[in-house]
Amino acid sequence: MSITINNLTAGYDRHPVVHHLSGSFADASLTAVAGPNGGGKSTLLKALVGFVPLMTGRIDFGGIKSDDIAYLPQQFEIDRTFPISVIDVVLLGNWSRTGAYKPMGKLHKKEALDALAEVDMAAFASRPVVSLSTGQWQRVLFARIIVQRARLILLDEPFAAIDGHTTLELMQQLKQWGRNGVTIICVMHDLNLVRSHFPQSLLLSRELIAWGSTADVLSEENLEAALERRGSWQESLERCEINGEERSA
Amino acid sequence: MKRALTGAVLVSCSSAPLGVFLVLRRMSLLGDIMAHAILPGVAAAFILFGMSIPVMSIGGLAAGLTVALLAGVVSRFTALREDASFAALYLIAVASGVLMISLHGTAQDLEDILFGDARLLDEQILSLMAVISGSTLLALLLIYRTLVVESFDPVFLRTVRGNGGVVHAVFITLTVLNMVANYRAMGTLMSAGLMLVPAIASQFWTQHLRSMLALAVALAVSGSMLGLILAFSCNLPSGPSIILILGGFYLFSLLFGRFGSVRARYFPFRHFSR
């Protein structure tokens, strides 16, 4: 039931950012996606969630449907000044069950409050989101994912600008999801965090550098290769002919 | 007077909530542009069919939607920022509208269309206003949840495959419809005012959407009633009177509101113990 990627190329305006990537995420695995800026980490997540069309290849989700996928983009993509309360944000996690019309009942509300309690934010339920700190806001978004009951969770730098204590608590939540059988793919910048918490890693610099157990993937050679690869790709604008197929790259 | 008041209350109830969403979606400018964009359509209908309210309203609706569509296309396919494309388009719309009316009508026609007059409201316009207002509120109820999510977290809406595109299109159509409902009383130049000014003022008083919507409606209703009473008793034009009363609400909120006002910033209440 793993998620298998076969020869995936994705990007914007004919310029691939992720180039001919193949591999698989095991069921209930916790994988960090690391690599330099512009290396395609966010694009890989967007390709998985279907926001970026694939130029080549395909993804086999092994029975996971799009309702089962939760995606949390980088923080700046959500308007945190909007006049909405914490509980209403968490309730949105029910969308796949309620859609745009079905009313949210007592059960939905209880589930949302329980999720808030799990991330230590129950006392904030009726507060407007504009009053939250960055760390509190991230906890609320995690609570929404809990309510979503996803089987695949994609997180894009969830710990950027988050203090150490909150990071550790949210990391426990990631591990809890893993124990419940959820597959997690998480874009990470902080390699120390990756080494201490993520069993699996994928090092991406437009092309796959390494994919496997974190200790093997984050070796000195691999990290150097990731940096080098990135530089050389900036200039190559010929058509790509990897795997025998001619592609406008 | 009674007709004018009825009309003002009707359009206030539907315009103000739309205004709140326009402001929250950082689209206030778009509201202003839609108001101006209906002018060439109104003018064309006026030239072809004379002062016929239903036809002029349809003309206005068509022109407004065309400009909205054009603005979307232009901003998608050119390097210019969206607000710049919008500004260019609405200036062209206003200029062509004014030119068309000047060539074919009297100065009084031009004034009526640009500035409106609540005294001109008849049964026909009132029923148009009632239909637009009622259907706007109904449509807003139907798209409410999706519109909220589309406004605050569009990425989430995409991941759960909510219908953001349709809701956006419905929202723009409602905005143009309400401009069409407003322009007879307030004129095309000021019909955005009833939509936007109460919505902007309400931002200073609450951080909860439902109270914000209710407050904006309350401000719009009371402002337009006060404005009309002022206009009738002092024999002033109705549109500017209403907008200036609403402007007074805005200034008061800016100075004394609970959130982000001058008062809140420079003279905060004593803080809680924790």
| Closest to B56 in 3D by CA, of B100, B119, B106 | B100
* Contacts with A79 from chain B: Cβ below 8 Å: 151-153
Tokens of A173: 């939540």
CA distances from A185 to B116, B155, B190 (A): 59, 18, 52
Q: What is the Cα–Cα distance from B1 to B23, expressed in whole angstroms? A: 31
* Contacts with B24 from chain A: Cβ below 8 Å: 82-83
Q: A28 versus B90: which is more confidently predicted?
A: A28
pLDDT band at residue A156 under the 50/70/90 scheme: very high
Alpha carbon B236 to its chain's center: 22
Tokens of B44: 């064309």
Question: Which amino acid belongs to residue B202?
Answer: S
Q: pLDDT per residue over B137-184, tens digit each? A: 999 999 999 999 999 999 999 999 888 888 988 999 999 999 988 888
Q: pLDDT at residue B95 above 50?
A: yes
Q: Are B261 and B250 a contacting pair, CB within 8 Å?
A: no
Q: What is the Cα–Cα distance from B198 to B69, expressed in whole angstroms? A: 27
Best of B145, B147, B157, B168 to substitute, by most chain A Cβ atoms within 10 angstroms, is B145
Residue in chain B closest to A128 (alpha carbons) equals: B207
Given an 8 Å threshold on Cβ–Cβ distance, is B153 in contact with A79? yes
| Closest to B129 in 3D by CA, of B219, B254, B8, B265 | B8
**B67-101 b/e with 16+ CB inside 10 Å = b?**
bbebbbebbeeeeeebeebbbebbeebbeebbebb
Angle at which helix B28-49 crosses helix B164-186, to 10 degrees, equals 60
pLDDT average, residue stretch A188-198? 94
Q: pLDDT per residue over A39-51, tens digit each? A: 899 999 999 999 9
pLDDT value of position B86: 76
Given an 8 Å threshold on Cβ–Cβ distance, is A77 in contact with B155? yes
Given an 8 Å threshold on Cβ–Cβ distance, is A83 in contact with B151? no
Average pLDDT of the residues of chain B: 88
Q: Are B59 and B176 a contacting pair, CB within 8 Å?
A: no
Q: B163 versus A183: which is more confidently predicted?
A: A183
- Give me the residue from B142, B152, B162 closest to A84, CB to CB: B152
With pLDDT > 90 as the criterion, what percentage of chain B qualifies?
Answer: 46
Tokens of B23: 């402001």
* Contacts with A48 from chain B: Cβ below 8 Å: none
pLDDT value of position A249: 37
Given an 8 Å threshold on Cβ–Cβ distance, is B207 in contact with A101? no
pLDDT value of position B244: 94
pLDDT value of position A34: 95
Give me the DSSP letters along B45-103: HHHHH-S-HHHHHHHHHHHHHHHHHHHHHHHHHSSS-HHHHHHHHHHHHHHHHHHHHHH
- Give me the residue from B142, B148, B155 closest to A84, CB to CB: B148
* Contacts with A92 from chain B: Cβ below 8 Å: 149, 153, 156
Q: What is the Cα–Cα distance from A186 to A31, expressed in whole angstroms? A: 6
pLDDT band at residue A242 under the 50/70/90 scheme: low
Give me the DSSP letters along B190-232: THHHHHHHHHHHHTTT-SSHHHHHHHHHHHHHHHHHHHHHHHH
151-190 in B: which are within 8 Å (CB) of A?
151-153, 155-156, 158-163
pLDDT value of position B79: 67
pLDDT value of position B26: 87
Q: pLDDT at residue A93 above 70?
A: yes
Given an 8 Å threshold on Cβ–Cβ distance, is A78 in contact with B152? yes
Best of B156, B204, B209, B272 to substitute, by most chain A Cβ atoms within 10 angstroms, is B156
125-144 in B: which are within 8 Å (CB) of A?
142-143
* Contacts with B145 from chain A: Cβ below 8 Å: 100-101
Q: Are B244 and B227 a contacting pair, CB within 8 Å?
A: yes
Does A130 touch chain B if contact means CB atoms closer than 8 Å?
Answer: yes
Q: pLDDT per residue over A128-150, tens digit each? A: 999 999 999 999 999 999 999 99
> What residues contact residue A63 under an 8 Å CB cut-off, 6+ apart?
A1
Q: pLDDT at residue A236 above 70?
A: no
Q: What is the Cα–Cα distance from A162 to B95, expressed in whole angstroms? A: 52
Q: Are B46 and B53 a contacting pair, CB within 8 Å?
A: no
- Give me the residue from A51, A66, A92 closest to B149, CB to CB: A92
Q: Are A201 and A221 a contacting pair, CB within 8 Å?
A: no
CA distances from A14 to A53, A239, B75, B95 (A): 11, 10, 21, 41
Q: pLDDT at residue A98 above 80?
A: yes
Does B79 touch chain A if contact means CB atoms closer than 8 Å?
Answer: no
Name the minimum distance, in Å, from the CA of B171 to any CA of chain A. 15
Q: pLDDT at residue B87 above 90?
A: no
Say if domain B2-256 classifies as CATH 1.10.3470.10.
yes
> What residues contact residue B130 under an 8 Å CB cut-off, 6+ apart?
B10
pLDDT average, residue stretch B230-239? 90
- Give me the residue from B142, B160, B208 closest to A83, CB to CB: B208
Tell me which H or E stretch contains A31.
strand A30-34
pLDDT value of position A248: 41
pLDDT average, residue stretch B94-123? 85
